[in-house]
Amino acid sequence: MTPVKIDENLYKYATPRQRQVLETIDRLGSARAASVELKMNVGGASETYNVVKRKAAKMGYAPEHDFTRPVPDGYTAKGVSTYYNAEGKPAGQWVKASVDHERQQEMLQAAIAAMCEQITSVLPTAFPQGTIEDLANVYTFTDCHVGMLAWHRENLDSDWDLNIAENTLTKCFAAMIEGSPKASLAIVNQLGDFMHFDGLVAQTPTHGYPLDADGRFGKIVEIAIRTLRRIIDLALTKHSHVHVIMAEGNHDLVSSIWLRKMFKALYENEPRVSVDDSELPYYVYQHGETMLAFHHGHLTKNEKLPLLFASQFPRVWGNSIKRYAHCGHRHHLEDIGHKDHNGMRVTQHPTLAARDAYAARGGWITGREATSITYHKKFGKVGETTICPEMLEEAA
């Protein structure tokens, strides 16, 4: 039997464990012998070898098939076209690459973990006095689309850009805080689509539709973080505990991940702040006998949420008498408001952002406002405060 010789270029596609297997095969000259030495099943080493070869081929490296031009990490070879000379030897090659979303997700998670290690945590702040123990204020912002560009001549309404977004969101939250009771608990419910787009290219992340954008992505990230920090810090001045939700939206699938991880790391030394870092895009908080549930609205229709939350979170559902869900995404006038479904009231929230050209041309009318709803541990909803941008203009 001819000894097996491992191609050294394959090592770059192997995990540490896979590399160990490949090195053992190379040293012993046999996959079967490597399986015995490493105490694997009979075909274990051979299968590991094939897994690495398949991964390499996926990235454009399979010399036995004349694939010798691998694509960068984070991409996959979409197609390889080789042409040959009269002697049957490769004379040239074209390689088409596409994004490897699974690998880029892995790379993103690693980058987030490294970034969070460098964050200087916020120090504990002074505890407010006189808060009402049984109350919770849910401050909801949804579909803020920071980074969107809207023009009043296209939407017959208002402009929206980075400066307007930062100013509007900060002032609206301050007004909501002032108009709400001094509850012990504040839930900062950032309900998704806080970022208008999710990377260096201004397009929707799943379908690639072009979007109207204001500014570079780095600038958008900077303003998004600064705005959310101001909101959380302001909530800490009035409430004993602040619970933060950074929900996944359809426009910010990736950004919602780093927002959750970043703010959890940022406030890790502040015991009065908790951040829901669930990877599942459905979030719950149990406030006494009141269940508070949250979902952006892009994956499940409102009428199906009660059964979904009951199934996903049976203990919270079973220990609650009053149940409320909060959604965004469908922020048009005919959808806005409260609706009772089986065992749960679902609130469809509007947005503070102006309409972009796409929404205006589609005839989708949006009532611009943000709402703080107050819940009692036992009695459920007991109050509501609504702020619209026009109120800020009057106050100015």
Q: Which residue has the tokens 């409320």?
A: 324
Tell me the residue type at 269. Answer: N
The answer to whether the CB of 192 falls within 8 A of the CB of 329 is yes
pLDDT tens digits for range 148-182: 999 999 988 899 999 999 999 999 999 999 999 99
At residue 94, the pLDDT reads 60
Q: pLDDT band for position 109 (50/70/90)?
A: low
Q: What's the pLDDT score for residue 12?
A: 84
118 pLDDT higher than 80 = no
Residue 164: strand, helix, or coil: helix
Do the beta carbons of residue 150 and residue 354 sit within 8 Å?
yes
Q: Is the pTM of this model over 0.75?
A: no
Q: Strands, DSSP E only, in 289-343?
A: 290-294, 322-327, 337-341
Residue 281 DSSP label: S
- Please tell me which residue, 112 or 333, carries the higher pLDDT value: 333
Q: Is the Cβ–Cβ distance between 46 and 31 less than 8 Å?
A: yes
Q: Check residue 87 and give its pLDDT.
A: 74
Question: Which has the minimum average pLDDT: 128-132, 224-228, 335-339?
Answer: 335-339
Is the per-residue pLDDT at 24 higher than 60?
Answer: yes
Give residue 205's pLDDT: 87
pLDDT at 72 over 80: no
Over residues 215-230, mean pLDDT: 90
∠ CA 167-247-202, nearest 5°, is: 65
**Predicted confidence band of residue 280 (pLDDT cuts 50, 70, 90):** very high
Pair of tokens at residue 162: 């980075």
All structural domains of the chain: 1-58 (no CATH), 126-395 (3.60.21.10)
pLDDT exceeds 60 at position 112: no
Mean of the per-residue pLDDT values for the chain?
Answer: 87
Residue type, 148: M
Q: Residue 82: beta bridge partners? A: 93
User: Rounded distance, CA 219 to CA 27, Å?
Assistant: 52
Residue corresponding to tokens 């402009």: 159
Residue 255 neighbours by CB distance under 10 Å = 26
What is the pLDDT at residue 321? Answer: 97
pLDDT band at 110 (very low <50, low <70, confident <90, very high): low
What percentage of the chain has pLDDT greater than the value 90? Answer: 57
Condensed to tens digits (0 to 9), the pLDDT of residues 86-102 reads 677 766 656 565 555 56
**Scanning the structure block, which residue is given the tokens 């017959």?**
156
